[in-house]
């Protein structure tokens, strides 16, 4: 087969007007047409004209995305998409973007008053995606087909957080209406309402065994521009998911709570806040155990490994800090973070300074803390079950070369391309650029997302990324594993 031509670059030389004529598109696409019958050639020429017109704004801003984003965001029946996909986007093996087989007839009239997607979250098995919108609804999506499974309606204000349960059977949603709702993800039925907070709910998490739901609430200042004056109540609530009864109220933070996370044995809870503190709590009694006080930085996300041997925290200085047993001291690309060495050791010790039995590995002073620069603020962290990967809302961090010894030895039969030393950790390669408008691989732009597909929230699940947009659209991209 003849080499596929760069038809769009040729097309740009013909005209800079709003819309080129069909004859010019036909000439621009004449070489691809040589591979098809006359009728197919006419169809391909028309597809080329429609393709360029529909993606006009994108291609004026980023012309080379004619072989990237424009292909991804075109209907599956478009000839240009099908002609160039295998050569140009071999690493993308699946895409769901609510586009379907044909162009949206209202493409040009779509407005910015359409509901925005504020939060997205994958189920633990990656087969379902939950999206929370500012139109007060939660939508559940099948990640394989892109089909919307359920639309959940009960909240009276925009959605602030969503969290699927570990067994994928329930979903919790928190809202600015000061309530939390539990849903059955199989049929979309409403299970119960938790009305305890009295304030907006920005974060939710299930315990690993699914029996406890933790969520934070935050008192919005009145007027809202007084957020920097005084202190505002910020609380963590614990509820029994089976009975709907309130278990504990954890008070101590004086500013917005950025994250909550359970230890893998369900016994401890970590909470972080913009008050520059990271607190540990006893889940059973609600007792405050220890506090780590930061300097000018605060923790934005926290996670425990499945065996409670590694604790990960993302910070406002755009670094992820790893603490625990088995972290390599020989990885030269990761600097030892002496500033937080003693503080993290103390965090997991008891009040007398000896080892906390709940954290036998984490409370050792012989552990080291390592910092991974990630180039942006991370607001979500979670380990995979084998703790090889650290899933973030900016990308996937592979820990094979960070843990000592490696969890799984590098393959000798399928060598992988290594990122630069300063990007160590992002060994799987796909991440969101810090400006949030492009997906990159080892620092090289793959897709540029703008206009109606501009991201306002996103989440990863292994090699799959889901993007929520300003116009209510959800994009799910599945990349080939390296």
The predicted pLDDT at position 403 comes to 65
Mean pLDDT, to the nearest integer, of 187-201? 83
The predicted pLDDT at position 183 comes to 97
CA distance 459 to 468: 9
Is residue 3 over pLDDT 60? Answer: no
**DSSP string across 222-257:** SSGGGTTSS---EEEEEEETTT--EEEEEE---S-E
Q: How do residues 156-181 score in pLDDT, each as one tens digit?
A: 999 999 999 999 999 999 998 888 99
pLDDT: is 17 or 167 the higher one? 167
**DSSP string across 109-171:** G--TTSPPEEEEEE-TTSSEEEEEETTSEEEEEETTT--EEEEEE--SS-EEEEEE-TTSSEE
Element (H, E) at 211: none
Is residue 461 over pLDDT 70? Answer: yes
Query: In this structure, what are the phi and psi dihedrals at residue 425, rounded to the nearest 5 degrees?
Result: 110, -40
The predicted pLDDT at position 163 comes to 95
pLDDT: is 123 or 404 the higher one? 123
Angle at 36 between CA 32 and CA 42, to 5 degrees: 80
Identify the band that residue 441 occupies on the pLDDT scale cut at 50, 70 and 90.
low
Closest to 100 in 3D by CA, of 478, 381, 481, 473? 473
Write down the pTM of the prediction: 0.78
Q: How do residues 281-331 score in pLDDT, each as one tens digit?
A: 999 999 998 888 877 788 999 999 888 888 899 988 888 888 876 665 544
Is residue 337 over pLDDT 80? Answer: no
Mean pLDDT, to the nearest integer, of 351-359? 61
The predicted pLDDT at position 7 comes to 55
**Burial group, residue 115, by CB count within 10 angstroms (0-12, 13-18, 19+):** middle
Asked if 174 and 215 touch (Cβ cutoff 8 Å), the reply is yes
Residue 439, number of CB atoms within 10 A of its CB:
25
The conformation of residue 359, written as its DSSP 8-state character, comes to G
In order of 87, 121, 151, 386, 451, the CA distances from 173 in angstroms are: 41, 11, 12, 28, 28
In order of 233, 263, 325, 349, the CA distances from 345 in angstroms are: 28, 16, 12, 7
Q: How do residues 22-73 score in pLDDT, each as one tens digit?
A: 444 344 444 455 555 556 777 777 888 788 888 888 888 778 788 888 888 8
Q: How do residues 98-113 score in pLDDT, each as one tens digit?
A: 666 666 544 433 334 4
The predicted pLDDT at position 306 comes to 87
The predicted pLDDT at position 269 comes to 94
Closest to 478 in 3D by CA, of 94, 139, 218? 94
SS3 53: helix
The predicted pLDDT at position 33 comes to 52
The predicted pLDDT at position 196 comes to 66
The predicted pLDDT at position 187 comes to 94
Q: Which distant-in-sequence residues (6+ apart) come within 8 Å of 280 by Cβ? A: 268, 269, 270, 288, 289, 290, 291, 347, 348
Question: Where is average pLDDT lowest: 25-29, 372-376, 454-458, 468-472?
Answer: 25-29
């Amino acid at each position: 087969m003849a080499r596929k031509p760069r038809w769009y670059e040729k097309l740009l030389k013909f005209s800079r007007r709003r819309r080129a004529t069909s004859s010019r598109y036909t000439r621009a696409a004449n070489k691809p047409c040589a591979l098809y019958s006359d009728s197919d050639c006419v169809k391909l020429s028309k597809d080329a004209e429609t393709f360029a017109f529909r993606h006009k704004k994108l291609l004026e801003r980023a012309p080379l995305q004619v072989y990237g984003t424009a292909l991804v965001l075109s209907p599956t029946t478009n000839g240009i998409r099908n002609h160039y996909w295998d050569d140009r986007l071999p690493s993308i093996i699946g895409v769901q973007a609510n586009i379907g087989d044909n162009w949206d007839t209202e493409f040009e009239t779509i407005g910015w008053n359409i509901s925005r997607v504020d939060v997205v979250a994958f189920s633990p098995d990656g087969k379902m995606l939950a999206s929370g919108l500012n139109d007060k609804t939660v939508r559940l999506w099948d990640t394989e087909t892109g089909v919307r499974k359920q639309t959940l309606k009960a909240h009276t204000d925009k959605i602030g957080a969503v969290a699927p349960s570990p067994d994928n059977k329930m979903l919790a949603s928190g809202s600015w209406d000061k309530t939390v709702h539990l849903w059955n993800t199989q049929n979309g039925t409403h299970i119960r309402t938790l009305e305890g907070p009295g304030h907006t709910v920005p974060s939710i998490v299930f315990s690993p065994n699914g029996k406890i739901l933790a969520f934070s609430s935050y008192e919005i200042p009145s007027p809202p521009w007084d957020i920097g004056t005084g202190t505002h109540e910020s609380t963590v609530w614990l509820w029994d998911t089976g009975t709907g009864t309130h278990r504990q109220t954890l008070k101590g933070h004086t500013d917005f709570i950025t994250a909550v996370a359970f230890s893998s044995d369900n016994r401890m809870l970590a909470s972080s806040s913009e008050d520059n503190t990271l607190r540990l709590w006893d889940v059973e009694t609600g007792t405050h155990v220890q506090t780590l006080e930061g300097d000018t930085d605060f923790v934005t996300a926290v996670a425990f490994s499945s065996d409670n041997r590694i604790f990960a925290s993302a910070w406002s200085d755009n670094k992820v800090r790893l603490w625990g047993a088995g972290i390599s001291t020989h990885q030269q690309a990761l600097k030892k973070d002496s500033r937080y060495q003693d503080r993290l050791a103390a965090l997991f010790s008891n009040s007398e300074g000896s080892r906390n039995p709940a954290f036998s590995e984490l409370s050792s002073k012989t552990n080291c803390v390592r910092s991974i620069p990630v180039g942006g603020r991370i607001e979500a962290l979670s380990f995979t079950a084998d703790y090889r990967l650290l899933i973030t809302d900016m990308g996937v961090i592979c820990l094979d070369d960070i843990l000592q010894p490696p969890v799984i030895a590098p393959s000798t039969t399928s060598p992988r391309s290594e990122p630069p030393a300063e990007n160590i950790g992002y060994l799987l390669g796909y991440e969101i650029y810090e400006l949030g408008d492009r997906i990159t691989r080892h620092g090289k732009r793959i897709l540029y997302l703008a206009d109606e597909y501009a991201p306002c929230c996103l989440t990863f699940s292994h090699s799959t990324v889901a993007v929520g947009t300003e116009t209510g659209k959800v994009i799910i991209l599945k990349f080939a594993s390296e």
